[in-house]
Amino acid sequence: MALQQTDVFGIMRSDLERVDARVEKAATIDYPLASGLVLDIVKAGGKRLRPLMLLLAGRGYTYDLDRLVTAAAGIELLHTASLIHDDTLDRADTRRGKPTLNSRIGSGAVIMIGDFLFAQSAILAAATGSTRVVSIFASSLGDICDGQLREMIDAHQTGLTRESYEKRIYGKTASLFAGSAEMGAVIGEAPETHIQALRQYGSDVGMAFQIIDDILDLTQESDGIGKPAGNDLRQGTVTLPVMLYARQLDPDGREKRALDAAIKGETEDRAAMDDVVRAIRTSSAIDESFEAARVFTEQAKQRIELVPDQSSRDMLAEIADLAIRRVS
C-alpha cells in the first residue's frame, strides 16, 4: 500500500530542508533589491517534486545525501529559471499565486536573473563530480528549450496532432522529471537497467503532471492554480482537453468556428471566450484527458517495481499518484 502524501513529505522533510537551504544560498545575488525578488520567487516554490523525486531515486540504492542534495538544488534552480523565462515569454502577471518578476521589473533584468539561475544550477550539477549528471542536466535544459520553442511555434495553430502535443509537453515538463529521477539513480549507483526504468518513470509522471495542469487551467479559478484561469487557450496554446474537444465538434459547426477563433486569437469578446472555456470544461474531453494522465501514472508505478527499497518505492508511487490527485 502506498504511503499517504503527508508521510512522504514528513519522512523526507529534513532532507528537503537541506535542499531548500542550498537553493537559497545559490540564488542569493549581491544586489539587495534583485536578491530579495529572486528569493521571493525561490521561496514561493511548489512542493519540490523534482528534488524529492531525485532524492528518492537515490535513496532506493546508495543514499549519498550530500551529492543528492547538491543535484536536487541544481534541478530546482533550473526549474525556477525556466519558469522565470516562461513567464516573461508569456507576459504572465502571476505564478503560484504571486506576482511574477516580469510584472515587477523590466524584462531585460528578468532575463538576466533567469540566466543567473541557469548558471548557478549548472555549477551545482558540476559540483556533484559526475560527468554523467552534468550530461543529463545539459540534455534536460536542451529539452526544456525544445518544448518551449514548440509551444511558441504551435501557438494559435488549429489541427495539431496528439503526437505534437506530447512532444511539446515532454520537452517543457516531463524531461526535467525524467532527468531528476535519472540523476538520483546515477548518484545512487543503481544498475543501468534500473537507471533507465527510473528515467521512464520520471517521464511518465511528468507527462501526467502536465496533462493535469492543462485540465486545471480550464476547470479551476485562478486562486486554485496560481495563474489566470483559461490562460493557455487565451494565449493560443492547444492542450489535450482542447484537442479532444475539437474532435467532438462538427467541422463546419458554430462551436468549431468559435473554438478556432479562440485558438487563433480572433475572439475579442471576453464573454465569447468564456463560453468556449465553459463548453470545454463541461465536455467529455476533460474526463478523457484525465484518463490519459491516469494511464501515464499507472505506467510510472509499474516501472519502479524493480526498486529494491520498499519505502522508497512506496514514496515514488505516491508521487505518481499525487500528479493526478490534484483533480478532485
Q: What is the CATH number of the domain that holds 45?
A: 1.10.600.10
Q: d(Cα 145, Cα 178) in Å, to the nearest integer?
A: 15
Q: What is the CA radius of gyration of the chain?
A: 20
pLDDT at 2 (0 to 100)? 46
pLDDT in single tens digits along all 328 residues of the chain? 444 455 898 999 999 999 999 999 988 877 666 667 777 777 776 779 999 999 999 999 999 999 999 999 999 999 988 888 776 666 666 565 666 666 666 667 778 888 888 999 999 999 999 999 999 999 999 999 999 999 999 999 988 999 999 999 999 999 999 999 999 999 999 999 999 999 999 999 999 999 999 999 999 865 554 555 678 898 899 999 999 999 999 999 999 999 999 999 888 788 888 899 999 999 999 999 999 999 999 999 999 999 999 999 999 999 999 989 887 5
Q: What is the pLDDT of residue 296?
A: 98
**Domain count across the chain:** 1
Q: Which pLDDT score is estimated for 32? A: 63
What is the per-residue burial (b if ≥16 Cβ within 10 Å, else e) of 201-210?
Answer: bbbbbbbbbb
As a whole number of angstroms, the distance between CA 264 and CA 85 comes to: 23
First to last CA, the chain: 21
Distance from C-alpha of 28 to C-alpha of 42, rounded to nearest angstrom: 10
Which residue range forms the structural domain that includes residue 157? 5-325
Rounded (5°) CA angle 176-227-45? 50
pTM assigned to the model: 0.90
Q: Which residues contact 211 (CB under 8 A, 6 or more apart)?
A: 169, 240, 289, 290, 292, 293, 296
